[in-house]
Structures are given as C-alpha cells and as structure tokens.
Structure 1
Amino acid sequence: MTINFNIGKYDNNQKVWRYLDFTKFISLMDSEKLFLARADSFTDDPFEGSYPIKNIESRKSIPGITSDLLIELERVNKKFKEYVYINCWHANDYESAAMWNLYLKSNEGLTVQTSLGRLARSIKNDRDYILHIHEIKYIDYSKDGFNDNNVMEAFCHKRKSFEHEREIRLIRTLLQYSEANDILNDPKNIIVQGGLAIDVDLDILVENIFIAPNAPGWFIDLVKAVLIRYDLIYNTSLFSRVRKSDLRFDPIF
C-alpha cells in the first residue's frame, strides 16, 4: 500500500478528531477497521465530487471538444463518485463544540483523537492500493476553480459554507479515472455498496478518547467497560486514554 500525503498547512503532529456515536465506536473497536463511505452517499452536500462553474466553462475551450463529449464527461464525473470512498476527520488543536453538536444526535457519544502521523502509521500495510490523505480546501464554487488535471481535486474541495469542518480525508478509489468506459459500464462489477473498510492498529491510532460533554455517568462507565475488555484481549492500554471532555469542566468566576 502507498499513502499519498497532501496535508497542506498541517504537519504530522496535527491533532485530528473523529466524532462517533456509541454504535460506530463499537464497530471500530470490534472490527479494528476504519469505514470509508462511498462518495455518492454524502447526501448533506450535493456538490460532493462536482466542479465549480469556472472549471465547467473552461471545458468548452478544450481543442476538439464537442457537445456530445461534454455530456459524456459529465456522465463520467457523476458516475465516478461510486468508485470513490472517503473517511473524514476534523483537524483542530482542541475539541470543537460545534462538531459535538453536528455529529452526535444524543449525549451518548465520544471522539477519537489522534495525529496525522499516528493515523498514517496505524493503517495496516497488507494490501496493494493507494490511499490518499488530503486536506480539504474551501472555495466559492461560483467564482473560484481548481486544477482539474487530477480528478482527486474534485473530492478535495468543498464550498465555503463547510469551512467549519476543517476536514482531513482518507480517500481510496477503485478505478482510475482514465478507465472511463469501465466507470460508466462497470464490467468488473467492483462497486462496493455503501462503503469499504481498511484495517488499522487501534493501539497506534487512538491517542485519546474524549467522552461527550453531557454524557451521563452510566455511559462513561459503559465505554470504560468496553475498553477494559478490549485491553485484556489484545494487550493494549486504551482504557488509560479515556478523558473527560474539556467542555465538561466547571468555570471559575
């Protein structure tokens, strides 16, 4: 496996966070895998994998381009989303109150905190594929554009209205964009419904686990019980990495 880093302004020590409800946390612990969702499943952002107006207009000046080819290109770009799989992290030196509110529908949740370096090292190198770790850039799709010579750029840009996410993505593709005919017809039948998973070493991945600020006491005990069991089975020390949310502490007046 090859990891392609494109983390822009960040370095390997940058803290990144993944906010999880209890079900997803159990899935992570039980499977020791990170789940990558298919790009076309991100229904909260219909612009996912799309191109800004500036890029669309520039296609019309490609030598020899015809209206039929432009339509075909649009079909390929839409279909390509089914071959792209993404796992999202939040880059921040601190917990984010906004992210707690956005990604947890109840108080029974937590966030796994790691660093970009630990995230990369935790991925088990036992398969032959390329995994991209990318910083997301936020632009105005009505005015700005990006270099679309690399199809990955369509999945590494989002609208400015999502800038609060400060997103880092793990991205894997199942086909090369140059295989346009395969993208449209899928003769290899390789599309994975829903998403796919990559194996990770949790002892490396998990630096800290922060419990949701308003989590009830029984939930904290439940998380600790799960981690004690995991540590006994796999000889790890995840239990010692559980933390109260920094947002939970009482203020001083």
Structure 2
Amino acid sequence: MTDKRANTFALQHYTKETPEPPDDLVLWRYLDFPKFLDLLTTRTLKMPRASSMDDGYEGMLGEAAVDARLKSWKLMGEPSYLRQVSWNKELRATSFWRDRTYVSCWNSFPTENAGLWRIYGDDKGLAIKTTWKRLKESFTAGDCVDRVFYGNIEYKNFATDTVASDTFTDQYFSKRVEFAHENEFRLVAHDISRDHSYTDTDPTGLPKFATIDCDLDALIEELIISPRLGAWVTKSVEATCQVFNGDWRIRQSKLYEAPEKSSTKF
C-alpha cells in the first residue's frame, strides 16, 4: 500500500512478502522528557541519521550473507581482483546511504515493557502509546524525504544467516538477533533532496535528522509516566501539555505497584 499525503509525502510498506501491519497494532515510544518537550514544541517527529545510531550494523549485511555473496561470485568464475572491486564498491554505496537514510524506531508490544523502561531511563522517562493507524494518520508532510517505508524488523543471526536483503531499504528492516528484545517497528526514509550532495561521500552539511510534521492529538493515545518517578511529575507533565493544547490521556505507570494484601472480593 502506498499512502499519498501533503507535499507528495507517501507511506509504503517496505515488502510485499509479508502482510500489511494491522491498524490496531499497538506501538510504544520510550523517551526522556527533553525529547518529548521537543516533540511538543516542534510538532515534528525527528528521524536520526542511520550512521549516527548505536548499532554499527544499521543498513549493513551480516557476515554470513557477505561470505555467501563473495562465494557465489567466485563460483561464477569472477576473478579475485574483480570480487574485491565489486565488494568495495558495494561497501561504499552502503556507507553513502547510511549517511542519507533516516530511521524512527518504535516498539510493538500489547502492554508496557519493564525492560524498555530500564533501557530508556525509567528514572526520567515517558512512553507514548499509540497504534499504527494513529501513527500513520498523524503525519502530514516531510522535509528532505518524500517517501517513508514502514514495517516490522526481522531479527537474524548475522553469523549464520546467508540470505541477503534485496535492496538497501530492506537492509534497514533486518537487525541482529541480539536486539530481538526490542520487537521493533520502524520507519525508514532516504534523503532524496536535490539540495543535498549526491556525488560527495562526505556527509558534512547533510541534515542530522529528517523531520515529519505530526498531529500530536492524532498520534498520542496515552502518555504514560515512568513508574519510578514521583506522583508530582504527572501533574507537571499535565501542566506542560496543557500549555501546548495537548488533548490526550496522561497517567503514571503502575508497573511496580504492589498487589493488595487483603481482599474484599467476595
């Protein structure tokens, strides 16, 4: 499915091999308060450059897939010097697109996730709860991107999986199995702006983020405060959201709330 919207901005499922994600797919975004404040004030979703992310394998093939590709070239009779030239050319192209590809990461779980609270700072964090329907309908326009691909991450053992992705875009929807705890759903966009260099491999001057204008009332179903923060934080967040006319439910997580020690359920 390709969904056209303002300024030729379009959404497209990255693959035809798997079903479209359902509209009621529950998605989470764990973030600290400064990032949430930026979302409130700019009303834009920022997608960082793939090459700036913690995982150095973003957009890269795994070692087993690389070995399989080199072996196939050898079996086809390609001499070693040509294999070297071909592979180095592909590595340069991969690096080029890592600097011109932007990613937004979400987590697909039906409920809160204690591990993700820990990872993303449950002593200072918030979580946005939404659905795929709400997320896609919140988007209005992009800046340096005009097409955003979406889909669930496929987790692979890069040391043993010899299947290579078909395109550079597909590679951003494969991650190492060590990250499977994230159960990630992501958005991926390539910078196609003619204002940015396509001949120079130096990323200096390229945007550090792609931004997508976002209707926050459409996006946010619930804003959930970390279970480890004081109750006063909820009132402060409520007041901040009111300043920006936020119309969504705000509550504090009860993840660590102890059960009743006696019961009146008779």
* TM-score normalised over the length of structure 2: 0.81
The answer to whether 1:46 aligns with 2:56 is yes
Please tell me whether the aligned partners of residues 87 and 170 of structure 1 are also in contact (alpha carbons under 8 angstroms): yes
Question: What secondary structure does 1:79 align onto?
Answer: helix
SS of the residue 1:247 aligns to: coil
Q: Deviations over 1:14-64 (max 9, x none)?
A: 110001111011001001011101001112x22221102332134333466
More moved, 76-85 vs 89-98: 76-85
What CA RMSD, in Å, does the superposition of the two structures yield over aligned residues? 2.4
- Give the equivalent residue in structure 1 for 2:206: 191
CA distance in 1, matches of 2:14, 2:89: 30
Q: 1:229 to 1:175 in 2, by over 3 A?
A: closer
1:76 aligns with 2:86: no
Write the mapping of 1:55-204 to structure 2, written as runs, cut at 5 A. 55-60=65-70, 61-62=72-73, 65-104=82-121, 107-125=123-141, 129-175=146-192, 185-186=200-201, 191-192=206-207, 194-204=208-218
Letter in 2 for 1:16: L
Structure 1 residue 19 corresponds to structure 2 residue 30: yes
Percent identical pairs in the alignment equals 25
Greater helix fraction, Structure 1 or Structure 2: 1
CA offsets 1:68-124 (integer angstroms, 9 cap, x no match): 1221111221222001101110100000000000011x5222100000111011010
Q: Which amino acid is the alignment partner of residue 46 of structure 1?
A: G
C-alpha change, 1:173 and 1:211, in structure 2 (3 Å) is same
Q: 1:200 to 1:145 in 2, by over 3 A?
A: farther
| CA distance 1:225–1:249, shift in 2 (3 Å) | same
1:135-164 superposed Cα distances (whole Å, 9 cap, x missing partner): 101010011144422211211111111000
SS in 1 for 2:140: coil
Cα 1:183–1:148 change in 2 (3 A) is farther
Task: Quote the Cα distance in structure 1 between the aligned partners of 2:36 and 2:233.
Answer: 13
Asked whether the equivalents of residues 100 and 212 of structure 1 are also in contact (C-alpha less than 8 Å), the reply is yes
CA contact (8 A) 1:47 1:158 kept: yes
Contact 1:59 1:70 in 2 (8 A): no
- What is the identity, as a one-letter code, of the residue corresponding to 2:219? L
Partner of 1:243: 251
Alpha-carbon contact 1:6-1:133 (below 8 Å) kept:
yes
Q: In structure 2, what is the Cα distance between the partners aligned to 1:162 and 1:187?
A: 29
**Paired positions, count:** 239
CA distance in 2, matches of 1:59, 1:175: 28
**Distance in structure 2 (CA, Å) of the matches to 1:139 and 1:26:** 35
Contact 2:45 2:211 in 1 (8 A): yes
Cα distance in 1, alignment partners of residues 11 and 134 from structure 2: 13
- Tell me if structure 1 keeps the 8 A contact 2:14–2:170: no
- Residue 189 of structure 1: CA displacement? 7.8
Gaps of 5+ in 2: 1-8, 262-266
Give the C-alpha shift of residue 190 in structure 1.
Answer: 6.9
* Kept after mapping to 2: 8 A contact 1:108/1:219: no
